Structure 1
């Protein structure tokens, strides 16, 4: 089937690029079988005109979908949905859409607005960044007491970070230095920073000193820097 237009909705105010909005909506249309294997999509010019967008924006979305194995393009054949085997393989490896559908179905039966739930998820990730590529290593030194408990608990519960904790009385200087070198962020109590500086080197590692009270701005400095 040849589709001259697609029921896409673009919202520039969303914290997602227009390119991503197009790509993800087409993926949903394929997953929900609105677009069948072998169906032809509008040309980049047609869809750009329909959505009042630049042709290159559409081309970028189509190219990404081709790279993911969901579309086929080429001279003389236009842009069409990939075959059934390719689609099945993609969604077998990419289970995010099924998870989102499950969440949406649960939310839609409640009193919550689906859009607000999803936007809250985007906002949450913007603050905490759960991306595997951005997974950080935190080292807490001499933080068994309440001075660091707030930060350990919040980072543990709100991120996918790797967290280690060391008591300087229980490890050698060599072991302590190795742990510091492996860490992205070192957190310790302000009152022992000077003595630690005399014992080990913090050349390439960000070091944050904390006091006895939890500081929300300092917490997000730890998470976002």
Structure 2
């Protein structure tokens, strides 16, 4: 025979079960609201974020190269750190808007992994090239960029040597980006640090050989502005 205490316990358990049954619905509502807020980011906003992000990456990275060649005050390690830091900073700044690609290779890689719609690939690539060209034009206007102070990427040795190096370091960068962005077990908050550090290390290794582009937009922007097309094909491929 059930006591009054047992009845109270049963009523509490039923109440908890009812609350538990309503929690999934609340979770679904929260997820729906999150999806709605993400959907509110328009394609134009994404493209603007890509233009701005790519602009400042090229402005800071290539700017460090140009300033070092003109004034000699940045040093090669400083250039490496600048590239890594500016990429990391821009990832955390606009990554929530556009995904922080800033690189046609990244956009194509994520599209292949079905983490990005193929229909937006041309738009992103165009935005990245625009950001690179605008940044390169800005550097050309504010700095006395002589042929010896060119801030683009040209092979220091043979084309074959630079081509091999670019394939290796670009693969490493895409490997890291794919790992931190497509694997749900990865710590997403540290993705920007991992990518920035990878770029910095790649510039340390490959900078003196090929310029360590890893990014067709990074090479094409300065080439278009300064009309220097030596070895440009290998950075695109």
Normalised TM-score (structure 2) = 0.24
Please state which structure has a larger fraction of its residues in helix.
2
Please state which structure has a larger fraction of its residues in strand.
1
Higher relative contact order (CA 8 A, sep 6+): 2
Normalised TM-score (structure 1) = 0.25
